[in-house]
Amino acid sequence: MALNQRYTENKYIALTAPADITSGDPVSIGCYRGVAQTTAKQGDRVTVWLTGSYTLPVTGAAKEGDPVYLKSGKLSTTAGGEFFGVSNGVKQAGEGDLEVAPAGIVTPGTPAA
């Protein structure tokens, strides 16, 4: 094992919060997409899980495999904002809970829509 290795798997990471974040919030920091496991004030470190799936409030209709976008801290199935992850479930139009798998790490330049 390399002596400089920090993580054996990059499933979660501590990052600097760009704004106040509450545990359970969807998070987009640079190319990372995940869900905050801790609450943090802007500038503090926040632990973000990049894997798994979460029940999150999402606006818009969805079917399994649809993209989910993050804009201004809110998730939506309507194109716009940043690509956040993928729907693991089905829901009707309007706001409601949906199982979402965050993308984890996205490629720089991933289109918003």
Model pLDDT for residues 17-58, shown as the tens digit of each residue: 999 999 999 999 999 999 999 999 999 999 999 999 999 999
CA angle 81, 12, 27 (to 5 degrees): 20
Q: Where does the chain have alpha helices with state H?
A: none
Residue 110 has pLDDT above 80, yes or no: no
Mean pLDDT, the chain, rounded, equals: 93
What is d(CA 91, CA 1) in angstroms, rounded to the nearest whole number? 45
User: What pLDDT does 113 receive?
Assistant: 55
pLDDT bin (cut points 50, 70, 90) of residue 86 is: very high
pTM for this model (two decimals): 0.89
User: What pLDDT does 28 receive?
Assistant: 95
